[in-house]
Amino acid sequence: MMKIFRTAIHGQPAGPRRPMLAVIIAGFALSIALPYFGLLNKYVIFVLISVGINVILTISLNLVNGFMGEFSVGHAGFMAVGAYGAAVTSVNVIPRWMGAAAFPTAILAGGLAAALVSLFVAIPSFKTRGDYLAIVTLAFAMIVKSALENMDVLGGPRGFMGMQQFTTLPWVFFWMVLSLWAIRNFVYSAYGRGVLSIREDETASELSGVDTRKVKVLTFALSSFFAGVAGGLYAHLLQFINPSMFDVIKSTEMLIMVYLGGVGSIAGSILGASIYTILMEVLRPMGVWRMVLMPAVLILLMIFRPRGIMGLRELRWFVYKAIPHSGAAAKGQNIGNT
Amino acid sequence: MEILRIKALGHDFGGLRALSGFDLALDEREFVGVIGPNGSGKTTLFNLVSGIYRAATGSISFRGRELVGMSPSSIAHLGITRTFQNIRLFKELTVLDNVRVAKYAAVRYSGLEALLHVGRFRTEERRLTEEAMELLTLFGLDDKAEDPAKNLPYGLQRRLEMARALAASPNVLLLDEPGAGMNPAEIGRLIQLLQWTKEHFPIAIVLIEHHMKMVMELCQRIKVLDFGVTISEGTPMQIRQDPKVIEVYLGKKDYAAVAGRTENTGYGHTADNRPHG
Amino acid sequence: MAYFLQQFINVLQTGSTYSLIALGYTMVYGVLSMINFAHGDIFMVGAFLFFLFVSTLKLPFVPSMLAATVLTALLGVATERFAYRPLRGAPKMSAVITALGVGVLLEHLTLAINPYPRHIPAMFEGSGTWSAGGVVISQLKAAIIVFSLLMMALLDFTINKTKLGMAIRAISWDMSVVPLMGVSVNGVIAATFAIGAGLGGIAGVLYSLAYPVINPYMGVMVGWKAFISAVIGGIGNVRGAIVGGYVLGLVETLTIVFLPATYRDVTAFSLLLILLVYRPYGLMGKPKTFKV
Ligand SMILES: Nc1ncnc2c1ncn2[C@@H]1O[C@H](COP(=O)(O)OP(=O)(O)OP(=O)(O)O)[C@@H](O)[C@H]1O
Ligand SMILES: [Mg+2]
């Protein structure tokens, strides 16, 4: 137990990383095999796909809120841009005969569109912090929603359809692993240390030479990219999207998953998204009262465990260490050690 | 020889003149002290030089480059770093990461290489980490490298802040009351540490301190501020005898310090600065 | 000319709603430096409570309105006591997210109890309209505008001339001085929430008289508009909030006059974004400096 979890961003020798690779390969194989041999019914597959999409959303939001300590509460806006971007690409831009080969292109387009739009939030974040930035992000999400409702080419409030159901379990697994891997790599790099230092003390970070503007732009872009990817996957799962799917309630769900699993933790993101998605499915018989439970959980979390289950701790497998075995550091003159 | 030139620097906060007409020509590897009663504008001076506030009047040039208007991070890149009066470490990060953060500008890999952990990433990270560990070893913090910074005792936190400020390989180091909240024995060790730092690194140091013993022993030159105005400057000996300085400190706790009893003074005054917890 | 006068009356009407609700945002921000994102939903609950008394319990208008106002005020106090007070020392982030959660909770609770939109019965069918020179104003509209203005005047008086108002202003200035005045901080904060939520409840009742179909999500957009009004006036500034509501009403009406009506929300939110980035202290506030 003691050895499994580490305080984030450092750790003992990270241990062999091959088990991680084995888990990924096994997971990918299972994601193909289980549906193929009919070992899972349609409903279970749907739930697993939802878990995957939610993991992507959670790690994406966690990067901004948990790792960087900024304050995005309108993440559904980026998801919406990604969903519409991917949907339009696959329906109107890519010719149909390309079939499933068009799918990754469409998802990529959705992600890039979201990353581009993230500048609208990144730039205000240079000047505003805290609750003001929260309003900026919420207002941004509102603008995206209102703008989509005003665009007749995209179906306006009625929504947009015509996408094929490209989103399958293996694809979701692939994008989920990609998002976790990329964000983990980013966090364990000089940029990632910049991200963490902004959370800890932005002024001290600036004064230590961190180009906080660049770090913020990169972080918002990366985070939004994957929120957009999740939106694209979602659009090609339901084959129908409309602006009100991406409202404050969607953003609230993402917040719950982040603060349930744990801020500033990759393992926590996986945990939070999985627990929440499955719990909501199990509670489906509760009907509309399930929707009452959801915000109640968020309030209780904030009061009693604001950092979540894994807050600021990390699973050893995810930790990257530049020097695998401590003691490799140069021995130098040591003074003042009295 | 001259590295930093400050001319007629001034700043105010809504009518309050916090600093005015401040001049300083700092030579390379020089050690200058800035003293003055509470609220006399010392920290404001550092905030202006490091770019937190944009100076209202005057100029700051570093090797001929004007700093007023530059962002704090570019000023740090150029080679001016600092510590804070009330310690500002990255509390939840490890001791090692506190130092590695400050090496941000020294990194030679791209965002894409960072995202994929390929190319120059691994060798660069190894180099940075080794350099950071070396610095920590010098400051006697290497065995704490993996601890969160918030777990360090107070004295070591101050030391880590200095290590972090040195990690970016600056040419000018600004120290804001590094001795705040320390007892005379700790002050003695801090003096040694600063002396050693100055010999070991090619830097000029500007030191703000209330502990007269430190300023008198370490600094070649001292500037005295009162209500934002420079009321005296000179060698420690000259400052000690300047009636204007004595008058400013008259009736204040530091009076004895300036007037000559340099041994065990100051900490009664600054003990209040020690943060709780 | 008549057209513009007619539009002017519309500005007064929407502006009154925004101002009444904006006061709740601004007062809470004043005492706790916290944005109470649930406030728009308090307004919605006010309308539903009014429906409960007037339609389900068949009470007359005045007692229904009074009861709805008092109960929303109590709801405001309860959210503060149980959701926000435990977080008073916690990071800002926790408080903002909790407020969002309280808002969604109120929406979904109301939804669970009222799965379908409700209709407020028409109560002033006998009331007529006045018209002069082509401008028509219903007596109901006029009454709503006048009553809102009266409430705001009353609040302004309370804030500036009473002991409670002085305590509220003192807390906004510095929370630590209030105990010296022999007043309990928690009491004053509770009173602030009660007043803010009560005004929100009144706004809910008035709004539902003008737009009788009510649903659990009606507070989201109106709440946002009110919040934008508070930001326009400088959040924390009581008179600013009143002015801000009418300014936003004007901006929205102008948008509708010159652009398709659907652009109303986009305009309001864009205005908010621009204000937050370039003038976060609002049109009437003053910038604050930070200390290192
Ligand atoms: N951000 C600010 N806003 C308003 N006033 C400020 C600000 N920063 C400093 N001041 C004021 O400017 C004056 C100088 O402050 P400064 O912090 O530079 O003093 P100091 O010499 O460092 O004092 P100390 O010895 O207590 O650290 C003080 O009156 C202080 O209150
Ligand atoms: Mg100071």
Q: What is the mean pLDDT of residues A313-324?
A: 80
Q: Is the pLDDT of residue C287 over 80?
A: no
Handedness of CA A295, A297, A301, A304 (dihedral sign): positive
Q: Is the pLDDT of residue B3 over 60?
A: yes
Considering only CA atoms, which of B46, B63, B84, B243 is closest in space to residue B165? B84
Q: Is residue C17 helix, strand or coil?
A: helix
- Cα distances from B173 to residues B18, B78, B84, B94, C157, in angstroms, run 22, 12, 11, 23, 56
Question: Domain residues of chain C, as ranges?
Answer: 2-278
Residue C211, SS3 per DSSP: coil
Look at residue A11 in the predicted model and tell me its pLDDT: 42
pLDDT at C258 over 60: yes
Q: Which residues of C touch A (CB under 8 A)?
A: 34-35, 83, 86-87, 90-98, 100-105, 108-109, 111-112, 115, 220, 224, 227, 231, 260, 262-263, 265-266, 269-270, 272-273, 276-277, 280, 292
- pLDDT of the residue at B116: 92
What lies within 8 Å, CB to CB, of B70 at 6+ separation is B51, B78
Ligand 1 close to Cβ of residue B39 (< 6 A): yes
CB contact (8 A) between residue A302 and residue C111: no
Q: Provide the terminal-to-terminal Cα distance of chain A, rounded to the nearest Å.
A: 35
- And the tokens for A37? 């041999």
User: C2-278 maps to which CATH number?
Assistant: 1.10.3470
Rounded to two decimals, the pTM is 0.88
How much is the average pLDDT of B155-163? Answer: 94
Nearest CA in chain C to A207: C292
- Reported as a pLDDT band with limits 50, 70 and 90, residue B148 is very high
The pLDDT, as a whole number, for residue A5 is 47
Instruction: Give residue C55's pLDDT.
Output: 92
- Percentage of chain C modeled with pLDDT above 90: 53
**More confidently predicted of B237 and A1:** B237
Quickly list DSSP for C108-162: HHHHHH--S-EEPPP--TT--EEEETTEEEEHHHHHHHHHHHHHHHHHHHHHHHS
Interface of B with A in 192-231 (CB under 8 A): 192-193, 196
Q: Could you read off the pLDDT of B193-212 as tens digits, one per residue? A: 999 999 999 999 999 999 98
Share of chain B above pLDDT 90, in %: 78
Is B15 within 8 Å of chain C by CB?
A: no
Kindly report the backbone phi and psi dihedral angles of residue C156, in degrees, each rounded to the nearest multiple of 5, phi listed first.
-60, -40
Q: What is the DSSP letter of A164?
A: -
- Asked if residue A105 has pLDDT above 80, the reply is yes
Neighbours of A278 (CB within 10 A): 15
The region of weakest confidence among A240-244, C9-13, C39-43, C190-194 is: C9-13
A162 vs chain B: nearest CA distance in angstroms? 34
Considering every ligand atom shown, identify the ligand nearest to the alpha carbon of residue B45 and give its number: 1
Whether A142 has a pLDDT exceeding 60, the answer reads yes
Q: Give which of A208, A219, A310, A338 to mutate to test B binding, by max B Cβ within 10 Å.
A: A208
Q: Do B13 and C292 touch (CB under 8 A)?
A: no
B84 contact residues in C (CB cutoff 8 A)? 292
Query: Do B138 and A332 lie within an 8 Å CB cutoff?
Result: yes
Looking at residue A1, its pLDDT comes to: 34
CA distances C276 to A76, A140, A148, B84, Å, are 21, 12, 23, 30
| B31 band by pLDDT with thresholds 50, 70 and 90 | very high
What residues of chain C lie within 8 A of the CB of A73, using their CB? 96-97, 100
Task: pLDDT band for A14, please (50, 70, 90 cuts).
Answer: very low
* Cβ contact, residue pair C292, B14, below 8 Å: no
pLDDT-derived band at A128 (thresholds 50, 70, 90) equals confident
With a cut of 90, say whether residue C171 has pLDDT above it: no
List of chain B residues whose C-beta atoms are within 8 Å of the C-beta of residue C287 = none
Quick check: B207 and B178 in contact, CB under 8 A? yes
B201, β-bridge pairs:
none
The percentage of residues in chain B with a pLDDT greater than 70, rounded to a whole number, is 90
When scoring C105, C220, C278 by the number of chain A Cβ atoms within 10 A, the one with the most, hence best to mutate, is: C105
Could you tell me the distance, in angstroms and rounded to a whole number, from the CA of residue B254 to the centre of ligand 1?
Answer: 18
Give the position of tokens 């692993």: A177
Residues near A198 by Cβ (< 8 Å), separated by ≥ 6?
A68, A69, A70, A205, A210, A212, A215, A216
Predicted local distance difference test score (pLDDT) of residue A22: 87
Chain A contact present for B29, CB below 8 A: no
Least reliable range by pLDDT among A98-112, B26-40, B140-154: A98-112
Cβ <8 Å between C97 and A302? yes
The average confidence (pLDDT) of chain B is: 88
CB of C69 within 8 A of CB of C226? no
Token pair belonging to C34: 């916290």
Sign (positive or negative) of CA dihedral B201, B198, B249, B20: negative
Any ligand 1 atom below 6 A from CB of B36: yes
- Looking at this protein, which amino acid is placed at residue A25? I
**pLDDT tens figures, B73-125:** 999 999 999 999 999 999 999 999 999 999 998 888 988 999 999 889 999 99
A-B C-beta contacts closer than 8 Å: 163
A interface test, pick of C97, C225, C278 with most A CB neighbours within 10 Å: C97
In this structure, of B146-150, B175-179, B248-252, C259-263, the range with the lowest mean pLDDT score is B248-252
Nearest Cβ partner for A136 among C83, C266, C273: C273
Q: What are the structural domains, with CATH classification, of chain A?
A: 2-334 (1.10.3470)
Torsion of CA C57, C62, C64, C67, to 10 degrees: -140
Report pLDDT digits (tens) over C183-226: 788 999 999 999 999 999 999 999 999 999 999 999 998 999 99
Tell me the pLDDT tens digit for each residue of C66-86: 999 999 999 999 999 999 999
Please report the pLDDT score of residue A326 as a whole number. Answer: 47
Best C104, C267, C271 member to test A by mutation, with max A CBs in 10 Å, is C104
Q: What is d(CA B195, CA B173) in angstroms, rounded to the nearest whole number?
A: 13
Is B43's C-beta closer than 6 angstroms to any atom of ligand 1? yes
Interface contact flag, A302 C270, Cβ < 8 Å: no
The set of residues, in sequence order, having a beta carbon less than 8 Å from that of C235 and lying 6+ positions away, is C25, C26, C29, C35, C241, C282, C285
Q: Is the pLDDT confidence value at C250 over 80?
A: yes
Stretch A22-47: mean pLDDT, rounded? Answer: 89
Kindly tell me the burial class for residue A327, based on how many C-beta atoms sit within 10 Å of its own C-beta (0-12, 13-18, 19 or more): exposed
Using a CB–CB cut-off of 8 Å, the residues of A that contact C are: 65, 69, 71, 73, 123-124, 127-128, 130-132, 134-136, 139-140, 142-143, 146-147, 149-150, 203, 248-249, 252, 255, 259, 288-289, 291-292, 294-296, 298-299, 302-303, 306
Q: Do residues B100 and B132 make contact, with C-beta atoms less than 8 angstroms apart?
A: yes
Helix (H) or strand (E) segment spanning residue A46: helix A42-62
Of A274, A283, A217, A321, the residue nearest A6 (C-alpha): A321
pLDDT of residue C281: 79
The pLDDT, as a whole number, for residue C163 is: 87
Would you state the pLDDT for residue B165? 95
Give residue A329's pLDDT. Answer: 43
Residue B277 at interface with chain C, using a CB cutoff of 8 Å: no
Ligand in closest contact with the CA of B34 = 1
Which of B72, B105, B107 lies closest to A207 in CB terms? B72
Q: Percent of chain A, pLDDT > 70?
A: 89
Q: Is the dihedral of CA A65, A71, A76, A77 positive or negative?
A: negative
Which pLDDT belongs to residue B252?
53
pLDDT digits (tens, 9 = 90+) for A35-82: 888 888 899 999 999 999 999 999 999 999 999 998 888 999 999 999
Q: How many CB pairs under 8 A join B and C?
A: 6
Look at ligand 1, atom 19, and give the residue with the nearest C-alpha: B39
Mutation test residue for ligand 1: of B11, B12, B16, B176, the one with most atoms within 8 Å of CB:
B16
Beta-bridged to residue B45, according to DSSP, are none
Nearest residue on chain B to A213, judged by CA atoms? B73
Percent above pLDDT 70 for chain C: 94
Give the pLDDT band of residue C284 (cuts 50, 70, 90): confident
Mean pLDDT along residues A293-316: 87
Instruction: Report whether pLDDT(A328) > 50.
Output: no
- Name the residue at shortest CA distance from atom 7 of ligand 1: C291
| Distance (Å) from CA B11 to ligand 1 centroid | 11
